[in-house]
Every structure is written in structure tokens, then in C-alpha cells.
Amino acid sequence: MTEALISPERIEADYLVETAYDPRAAIESMAGEQSSGTFVPVPGETPELKERSAARIEALEMLGEVEAPSLPGAGRPAGSRIQRVRATLSWPLANMGPSLPNLMATVGGNLFELKQFSGLRILDIRLPTAFADAYPGPRFGVEGTRWLAGVEGRPLIGTIVKPSVGFGPGETADLVRLLAEAGIDFIKDDELQADGPHCPFDQRVRAVMRVINDTAQRTGKKVMFAFNLTGEIDEMRRRHDLVLAEGGTCVMASLNSVGLAGMIALGRHSALPIHAHRNGWGYLSRAPMLGWSYVAWQKFWRLAGADHMHVNGLANKFSEPDDSVIASARACLTPMFAEKPCIVMPVFSSGQTVKQPPATFAALGSVDLIYAAGGGIMAHPDGPAAGVASLRQSWDAAIVGIPLDAQARTHPELARALGAGA
């Protein structure tokens, strides 16, 4: 799949809006607010300037009426009807140049507060190739991640260090040794584990990498560990360099914590895959008539340099429905530009066990993903090695279309996991 072609000099964004005003007039006010206009005419906004710099309405699609406003604070003229509309706006690239921070301000700035709208959500964006030229994008993506992890033809099986916080460097390394000897492909810090006094980042990296390097020397398999280096820009650069020097193969950053400029700086600096965690995503997305669609939001971070992006998982512990999870994962695997696809590896997590792989593969149609399970590995009745084996067996069955119960008859680890309710 490729993005729809647009003018090489214009940016497009699709919105779902809800308004009690005339829809075209309301969206024209949004276009003016986010380009050359303001709430009243100003002398400098000449027809020539508008022609050069104003946002344009490219499409309007009426979706129907609703009885009540979705959000408080919106205006409602007497006798008006509340309508939902899908709208597409476009802006000339010359308004901002190929700048991700200023793109964010343009497509997602002072829109949500406008009184004309009782709902506004960004659905998608399409960008000129100038953005591909200006930003690194993922340096490793799917292919580089697979090469470093030594895994082909199936998902990477991963887990998260639990308890989330509380372990010191030695305890973390002991858990990593257990998981590495179980044959796991990928381990990550929990997003809450950073550089606290009970588990300093530098000590954790050195302790964990001693275990990973030792295991790799003995077995030939090097576990990919995503160290959470979230912090200020100089801290992240220094932490990255330590991981690289110790032989690590991945770093992790919390996108909403480091911000777009922080992620861009890390992406330009990094010589390792960047595991991008979206913790905090709910406050941007959970209200259905407010915020962002993941389809639009994830494009910023891919261009900034993310190599892996979290998408939740099927039958997860959070509020996100399965169809949204799959749409998010597909978006990560959809090229952004013909010459620079910027493909990233989706990360499925949150309550994942041996039960979800058949439905995940059937819906996604790809094995290019990280499948991260905590209890699905650690809570196996026969221990972590059996937990890792059972997840691989479930994915093997999903890929070739064998029902789980049939696979379980010849694979005891899977049978035990299913029997234990994993």
C-alpha cells in the first residue's frame, strides 16, 4: 500500500469534525485559524497573500446528525442541528517548510478549542516528499531489527521486565539471564524504569549486557534488550552511547515524555534501533470525537526515527478495540513515500498470550511484529522456557493455519499454556 499522491508542495490532513454551525463556514474558520487568517479580517491578509498562504478545503463529506454535542463548551446557534463531517484541508509547504514540530502546530494546533466545534479528531495526514528528505526515518525498521535479533520468518517473541520498578541492576540481570537461557528474542525495560537511585541506568546496562554478551558467546543468540533511556536530550545521547559501547542492540524512549524535538534529536544521533513507547496515548485518543487517530499520529514518529512502535494487542487489558489495534499495526507497515517507505515494526503487547496469535495473524496478514508477553511467558506452569516455546508454537500454528487445539496435541508446552488459561 502507498499513500495517495498529492501536490509536491502541499500538505493534507483529514479531520472528523462535529459542529452546530454551517459546516463549510466552520471549517473555513478552522482553515483560517491554522494559516493566514484570524477571527476578524486584518489589513495585511490580501487576496494575494491568501492565494499564497491560506489553507484550502479540499473535501467535505457529510456523515449525519447527532442529538447532543460530544464535548462541552461549543457554541450552538438557536434551532441548529449538530452535524458530523469528514473534511480535508491542505496547506502550502512554504508556510512552514519540512519541519515536523511546525507541522504538528499546523495540523494539530489551535483547532480543538474553537467554539464552532463540539468534536474534532485528526484522522490522517499526507506529506510532500520534502519531509522524507529532511528527516532520517527509521534506520533499522523491520529488516534491521530482524538482522540484529537473528529472527526470520516469524514474529520476535518478547517480554517486559517485571516488576516494573523495584529491581536493582543485579536482580534485573538475573531475570535477563533466565529469559535469555529460555531462548527469548527481545526484552524491554518497563517504561517506568529509567535512572532511579535503586537501579541506575549505567549500572543496569553494564549488568544486563554482561549477561547478554555471555549468553550470546555460549549460544550464538544475542537477545535484543531495549534500555529505557528516556530523559533530557543530552542524557539520552550519553545513555545511547553507553548502550552502544557495551554491545547493546536497542534503546527505548517514551514518545510523549521526550517530545517531538527530543525524538528527532535521538533519531539523528542513534546508531541503534529505537523502540518507541506510546505510554500516555490514551489522553490523545480515547475520546472518540477528540484528539488523534493513530494512523495520523504515528507518521510523525516514524519520520523522527522510531524503528518499533507500540500498537497494543488483541483482547488487551486496555480500552482499545481489536479493529483499532489492527488498523494501527497496518499503518506502521504501510509505506509513507515511494522512495522512502519508513516502515516500522509494530509491537503487540498488553495481556498477550498463546491465544491471540491466530486472530492477530489472520487480521494483520504479516509476521513483521514484536509479540511481547509478560504473564504469557513468566506464568507458564513449566517456567519461562516453556512459556517462550509455547508462544512460538502458537505462532507456528497461526502462520500455517493449524488450529491451536490440534497444535497442542503434539506440543506439550502449548497444551500446558492453554490448560493453565494463559
Q: How far apart are CA 190 and CA 275, in angstroms?
A: 12
pLDDT at residue 48, as a whole number: 74
Residue with cell string 466545534? 117
Local structure of residue 287 (DSSP, 8 states): S
Give the pLDDT of residue 310. 97
- DSSP letter string, 109-169: STTTT-TTEEEEEEEEEE--HHHHHHS---SSHHHHHHHHHT--SSPEEEEE-SSSS---H
pTM of the model: 0.94
Residues of the chain with pLDDT under 70: 1-8, 36-45, 50, 421-422
In this prediction, residue 5 carries a pLDDT of: 41
pLDDT number for residue 41: 60
State residue 421's pLDDT score.
66
Which amino acid, 185? D
pLDDT at 188: 97
Q: What is the pLDDT of residue 35?
A: 74
pLDDT, tens only, 10-39: 999 999 999 999 999 999 999 888 876 554
**What distance in Å separates the CA atoms of residue 115 and residue 112, rounded to the nearest whole number?**
9
pLDDT digits (tens, 9 = 90+) for 118-156: 999 999 999 999 999 999 999 999 999 999 999 999 999
The Cα–Cα gap between 393 and 404 comes to 9
pLDDT of residue 324: 97
Report CA-CA distances (Å) from 40 to 5, 37, 44, 74, 213.
Answer: 34, 8, 12, 19, 65
Identify the pLDDT of residue 4: 41
Percentage with pLDDT > 70 across the chain:
95
Sign of the torsion angle spanned by Cα atoms 39, 44, 46, 51: negative
d(CA 180, CA 182): 5
Classify the C-alpha dihedral 379-383-388-389 as positive or negative. Answer: negative
Which residue, 138, 142, 143, is CA-closest to 266?
Answer: 138
Helices 384-400 and 412-419, packing angle to 10 deg: 100
